[in-house]
Amino acid sequence: MEGNKELPEFTHEGRDKKKFVREMFNDISSNYDFLNHFLSVGIDIYWRKKFVQKLNISHGNHIADIACGTGDVCFEILKNHKVNVTGIDLAENMISIASKKAQKKQVENVQFLVGDAEALPLDSNSVDFLTISYGFRNIAHYEKAIEEFLRVLKPGGKLGILEFSKPKNSWLGSLFTFYFHQVLPRLGSLFSRSDAYRYLPESVDFFPSREDICRKLIYGGFNRAEIHDLTFGISTIFLGFKKGE
Ligand SMILES: C[S@@+](CC[C@H](N)C(=O)[O-])C[C@H]1O[C@@H](n2cnc3c(N)ncnc32)[C@H](O)[C@@H]1O
């Protein structure tokens, strides 16, 4: 972080966050895929694959991928399953890229919609799985989004959140912090809107702990929550189970 090291540079909750996040992802959309793979040296592809495997999706299911961005989780799901996927994102430029990718890949059974995780354009009890990959951290009001996730999931449905975490191993934690705070913002600014890659590490710092995320899910009405760390806990999969009938 540049400037005063004590104060955050960005807002991590509320309406101003939502406005900033939407504008930022609209602005960085054209470079988003390239920078994701480049800055993570491709490990993001492996994390999304593991995430989809962990869900245990069955043929015929309806899946809503929230904060879908350019659609990579939707495409990963459709690679291996005969299902219907609805991708939803706040930033219209991300949705436009996702739609173009679907056309190019000739992928069927997917629709992309502009929409807000806090007011989903989906019927209640309508989806078997709700996924959100590297999107939950960017949401302005976590509790409102969790309420919506629970509403649209069918009884017995499953929520999957994939998100960056702070690794537990201390030397790896220090290395990760160094890379995220010192290297990534400099590399990112060479190719994209410079504040986007200062926002990323700060948003990870401000993201609630693994246990707090589970608490939010349980207080929000999920029956059960699980934590599954990937790659020494740099990324984490959270599962939330909605009570069956
Ligand atoms: C880091 S990207 C993740 C994109 C994609 N899921 C992936 O794995 O690459 C975060 C996305 O969250 C979206 N987002 C943030 N707040 C949102 C909200 N309230 N509702 C829907 N999408 C939101 C942003 O527009 C952005 O496309």
pLDDT at 245: 83
Determine if ligand 1 sits within 6 Å of the CB of residue 87: no
pLDDT at 173 over 90: no
**For residue 124, is it within any domain?**
yes
Percent of the chain with pLDDT over 70: 98
Q: By alpha-carbon position, which residue is closest to atom 10 of ligand 1?
A: 135
Give domain status of residue 118, yes or no.
yes
Q: What is the pLDDT of residue 187?
A: 94
What CATH code is carried by the domain that includes residue 235? 3.40.50.150
Is 73 near ligand 1, meaning CB less than 6 Å away?
Answer: yes
| Residue carrying structure tokens 């590490």 | 201
The structural domain count of the chain equals 1
The pLDDT tens digits for 185-201 are 999 999 888 899 999 99
148 CB less than 6 Å from ligand 1? no
Residue 7 covered by a domain = no
69 CB near ligand 1 (under 6 Å): yes
236 in a structural domain: yes
Q: Is 116 in the pocket of ligand 1 (CB under 6 A)?
A: yes
Give a yes or no: residue 5 inside a domain: no
- Report d(CA 240, CA 245) in Å as an integer: 16
Structural tokens at position 149: 């996730």
Secondary structure (3-state) at 115: coil
Its domain, for residue 225, covers 15-241
User: Is the residue at 87 inside a domain?
Assistant: yes
Q: How far is the CA of 68 from the centre of ligand 1 (A)?
A: 6
The average confidence (pLDDT) of the chain is: 95
What the block records as the tokens of 214 is 């589970």
C-beta of 91 in contact with ligand 1 (< 6 A): yes
Tens of pLDDT along 88-119? 999 999 999 999 999 999 999 999 999 999 99
pLDDT tens digits, 13-72: 999 999 999 999 999 999 999 999 999 999 999 999 999 999 999 999 999 999 999 999
Q: Which of 181, 155, 178, 166 is nearest to 241 (CA)?
A: 155
> 237 forms bridges with which residues in the sheet?
162, 228
Question: Is the residue at 4 inside a domain?
Answer: no
Are 242 and 154 contacting, i.e. CB atoms less than 8 angstroms apart? yes
Q: What pLDDT is stored for residue 5 in this prediction?
A: 56
- Work out which ligand 1 atom sits closest to the CA atom of 67: 22
Asked, for residue 1, whether it belongs to a domain, the answer is no
**Hunting for tokens 């989809």 — which residue is that?**
52
Stretch 157-171: mean pLDDT: 93
